Amino acid sequence: MSKPKLAIYWAATCGGCDVALLDTQTKVVEIADAFELVLWPIAMDFKYKDVERLPEKSIDLCLFNGAIRTEEQEDIARMLRKRAKVLVAFGSCACHGGIPGLGNVSDRNGIFEKVYRQTRSTANNDGIRPRTRTEMPEGTLTLPAFHDTVRSLDQVVDTDYYVPGCPPPVDLIGQVVTAVLSRSLPAVGSTLAPDKTVCDECPRERDETKKVKQFRRLAEVTPDPTRCLLDQGIICCGPATRAGCEARCPSVNMPCRGCFGPPAGVLDQGLKLLSAIGSIIDSKDEREISRIVNGVQDPLGCFYRFGLPKSLLHRTRTRSADSETRDD
C-alpha cells in the first residue's frame, strides 16, 4: 500500500518552523517512514512543476509555514490548497501573520524606500529597486511581485487546521502527525492547541489584588522568579495568549511574547492584553494613568507582535494599501 503524501512549504518566515520539525529528533524519522515527501524545499530538491503534476487532493497533509508576502507565495498557497486534503497553517506566521505581519505598518513603497534608500549602510545613489521584470541581453529576469499587505494563510485560501507557536513545540507537531495518520483530527477549523491561556499553565504566583504604578522593560529590572511578571510591571502577554507551550518563556524568567495567538473566544489579542493591563493600573488620575501607560514601549509591537494581519486593525492606512500593483 502506498504511503500518504506530505508537503511542507516555507513562505514569509524565518525558517524556524522547519527547524522545529527537525527538533522532533526520532519523530522526524517516523515522519519520513510514514509519509512520502512530495515537497520540502529546505531539505530536498523539489521543483514546483513536480507538485503541479500531482492530481488534486492527492497530498494527504500539507504543513504550510509562513505568511503571504509575495505573489509567488500566494500562487503556491493556492496550488497546494487544490492538491492537499488537509492544509495546516503551521506556526505563528501562517496562523496570524507573525513577525512579517508587522510590515503592515507600511506598504511596499515605504518598505522599499527604507531598505534601499534610507538605511545608513545602503549606498544606492541611483535609487535602484527590485523590479518584477528586467530585460537583459541574455533574456528577461523576473521576480515575484511584493504585495503591500502581509496576510495569514487563511486570508488567502481555506485552511483546515492551525498549529500556533514560534515555532510550534515538538509535542504539538507529534500530535498533528499522529492525528493525521490515525484519522482522528478534530472538526475542521480547529486550532490544535489547548483553549486555555498561558497564565493557566504558568507556575508563577499571581496576586489578584496587585496594582502597578510603573511598567518596566526586562532589561531594567531583575524579576522575582516566583511572582507573576505582569504583577511586577513587566508586560507579559500570557493573559491574552493561547496555551500549549507549557509557559516556557515565563518559566525561565522571560515574559510571554504572544506567539500562540489569542485564546478561544478572543477576537483581538491586542485588545485583550490592553484590557488586562488596564485592570492592574494603580491610579484613577488621568495624568497619572497616562504616565503609566506611556511606560509601555512600542505598544504596537508589544500588543500585535505576532498577529497584526489577523487583528481588527489589520494594517495602517496608506495611499497604496488598497491597490496591489506590480512594480513594472
Res 322 pLDDT > 60: no
Please provide the size of the chain in residues: 328
Residue 127 corresponds to which amino acid?
A: G
Query: Taking a C-beta distance cutoff of 8 angstroms, is the pair 296, 274 a contact?
Result: no
Residue bearing cell 500566494: 74
Query: Taking a C-beta distance cutoff of 8 angstroms, is the pair 218, 302 a contact?
Result: no
pLDDT band, very low/low/confident/very high, at 327 (cuts 50, 70, 90): very low
Total-model pTM:
0.91
Please report the domains of the chain, with CATH numbers, ordered by start residue.
Answer: 5-100+148-182 (3.40.50.700), 106-146 (no CATH), 198-297 (no CATH)
Q: 3-class SS at 105?
A: helix
Rounded CA gap, 5 and 11, in Å?
Answer: 20
pLDDT digits (tens, 9 = 90+) for 62-105: 999 999 999 999 999 999 999 999 999 999 999 999 999 999 99
